Chain A
């Protein structure tokens, strides 16, 4: 058994392996998957000297605890949280050396939802269709972490960044998502479009890696009937029969039969990944390119 590995001491509520996902297979029904807060995952990789596509860990609210078998450099970013090594506080958002056998504890998020743990060499589980990402919709990739699991790590490839910290956006107190209307905005009455772009929603606790669900005014359709299944993109705002918009995140289905009223700018999805349930949410029209 390799001595270059993480032993999972505390898996946390939901911790998954994520990289840049497996785009290019949507025509086979394979979701793109990948880190929800992609800039945070790229940042922790840069801090530990990895290429941006190395696999990291994505935690959910409660963090996780890991014991490396040999010395590694780690960096924790995304959602702010306390980080300790053998009980001593260490830096968040900066490279940290963790000796072999020491306990790295990534604490509960003090703001935001998802913390990212980058490790020198990256998490080296077997890739599936070119990616190590866990896809919670289709079950591709490694299973979510469990207590006692062992995660192989790759050989360190680069030199960790020489920084004490890197600027990272704060998780949003209010989530503002810029939306290009369409392709199925004509399925909604003008009044519903006004509600969509002027109303206030809240992030629902039913949100997950598949979609950011919302609570707020229902959007009434101008048409009844079924939309034949059509391809879905990242950031698509689909409106199911209950009228509450759902923003598709990385593990979204590749096709769907509910109308998409608009599409959120890709640059705004990192903030969506960090919006805790209850966060006020507005959709703001943004022009088409």
Chain B
């Protein structure tokens, strides 16, 4: 693990893999909950966790070297099930990239257990990992100017759901009616880092 100073009050912790980042994030959240760490923000991302609002980043950077972080993240009890219709305009292209039929692509996606690696892009947008490397697909060459809210989409190692309509370059494979974000709900975000997620095809229950 590398600890890179970020300005006066933050540290960027860099690790070798996405799974390590998820594990480190879980450990940091645990330590903060137990009062062993004081940080205003703990922001996981692809290969890093950002700690912001630290009283003494240099001291924490030194202490971190002696931490033992479990190699895999703990499994949360809660699983969020997202109802889905595999009706996206890019489903055929994704199926072709996977060398299967569209029906089989939908089945493979719904059979995967996902985990929210991190959030970003928009409130409530989670970057979900779980697809094996040979199922990763590139972004579209030309982004769409408007992706409808509720679109279930793939890019690189990630699956995501657009919480609201926005421009986007991910490959759209389906649609969900789940409300990913509602500012007046508690919690406002349906998905947060660490949440386990399953997509449940509508009519399959």
Contacts and interface: CB of A to CB of B under 8 A. Distances in A.
A24 B40 contact: yes
Contacts of B6: 182-183, 233, 236, 260, 263
B119 A27 contact: yes
Contacts of A228: 45-48
Contact of A28 (B9, B50, B192): B192
Given A230-B45, A230-B50, A255 B183 contact: no
A29 B120 contact: yes
A180 B123 contact: no
A54 B12 CA distance: 32
Interface residues of A, number: 34
Given A23-B40, A27-B42, A230-B12, A138 B5 contact: no
A266 B8 contact: yes
For chain B, the bracket of interface size reads: 35 or more
B8 A180 contact: yes
B41 interface: yes
B49 interface: yes
B4 interface: yes
Q: A-side binding surface: helix, strand, loop or mixed?
A: loop
B52 to A, nearest CB: 5
Contacts of A183: 4-6, 12
Contacts of B93: none
Given A23-B41, A30-B123, A231 B52 contact: yes
Interface in B1-42: 4-10, 12, 40-42
Contacts of A231: 12, 41, 43-45, 48-50, 52
Nearest to B189: A28
B183 A29 contact: no
Of the listed residues B10, B47, B164, the one surrounded by the most CB atoms of chain A closer than 10 A to its CB is B10
Interface of B: 4-10, 12, 40-50, 52-53, 57-58, 118-125, 127, 164, 183-184, 188-189, 192-193
Interface of A: 23-30, 128-129, 138-140, 180, 182-183, 228-233, 235-236, 253-255, 260, 263-266, 288-289
16 contacts: A24-B41, A28-B124, A29-B124, A129-B183, A138-B123, A139-B164, A140-B183, A180-B7, A183-B6, A229-B118, A230-B47, A231-B44, A236-B6, A263-B6, A266-B7, A289-B58
